[in-house]
Chains A and B, each alone.
Chain A
Amino acid sequence: MDREPGDDRRDRRSLRRLADGDRDALTELFDAHAERLFGHALWLTRRRAEAEDAVQTVFVKLAERGGELLRVRRPEAYLHRMLRSTIVDDARRRERRPEEALDDAELLVADSADAEALAEAKGLERALAALPAEQREAVGLHLFEGHSFGEIGRLLEVSRFTVASRYRLAIARLRRTVEGDR
């Protein structure tokens, strides 16, 4: 799942082919990025259906873009920024903010049907869902998607220090929430 040094070059080639009308290039980009884009969307929206819709919108937009794709230098960051703006626009259209609390968050899967494991997953999920979107995004991208703070900073176009700060605030808040539940 980790990105290799040549991946950006390969993705730029795929974008160029897509701009030329080669639809196989879209399949390659989907296979390379969809899982991480879905993860990113899930941490922002907290709902699987909305995350899937956002991923679909990103790839449909990508298929429409044409010449703009020829100028993309960092494809992964380009896709994640497109995803983020899609989710923000969608939330605006639905007249609610991404960080607005939802009762039915779908973030975590318990590894077993054991009651204790289920309770642990549900408790952590509730605590994660209550975080502000940017903090939840930092936790999700770092702990679950495996990005370093520097990589997250490049994806979101903020400094790594901003990402680290959001992450630390989120962990402190999670600790208080989870301890308060006990």
Chain B
Amino acid sequence: MNDRIETRLRRQRRHAIDPALRARVLAAAGSVEPARVGPLERLWSSSALRWAVLTAVALLWVGDRWSTTLSPNISISHGTMTCEARELGQSMELDDSERRWLERRLGLHALGTGRGRRDAPLSM
């Protein structure tokens, strides 16, 4: 019975659009002032540029991750800082003045474990 009502509906036609609507709509739309598109908006809307920026960001991130693994690991506990150069497999104990110098040099503030900047010196 469901099929029957669908068949009956399929035999019907809906009202078609009035051909005069086209001219009316285009005249009405033609009289409005479009919003201005900013140069940055236009630039960003270019998919080539968007892909280029996203690819560059992805490459920078991957590069940063890769180089960070080669940089020294710094850990601070009970006032003693251990600096381990992974690629050399060495570590050293630092006294307070060396630790403060290294903290300033690396921009480390919080106690705990941090990861050194890539330009940190490996030798003291």
User: What residues of chain A have their CB less than 8 Å away from a CB belonging to chain B?
Assistant: 16, 18-21, 23, 26-27, 30-31, 34-35, 38-39, 42-43, 48, 52, 55-56, 59-60, 62-68, 70-71, 106-109, 111, 120-121, 124, 128, 139-140, 143-144, 171-172, 174-175, 178-179
Contacts and interface: CB of A to CB of B under 8 A. Distances in A.
B8 A64 contact: no
Contacts, number: 123
Interface in B1-39: 1-2, 4-6, 8-18, 21-22, 24-26, 28-30, 32-38
B111 to A, nearest CB: 46
A30 B41 contact: no
Given A34-B17, A52-B21, A109-B13, A174 B5 contact: yes
A27 B28 CA distance: 12
B79 to A, nearest CB: 55
A20 B28 contact: no
Interface of A (DSSP majority class): helix
Interface residues of B, number: 34
A107 B13 CA distance: 8
B42 interface: yes
Contact of A143 (B10, B15, B21): B10
Given A48-B18, A111-B13, A171-B5, A67 B45 contact: yes
Nearest to A38: B17
A23 B30 contact: yes
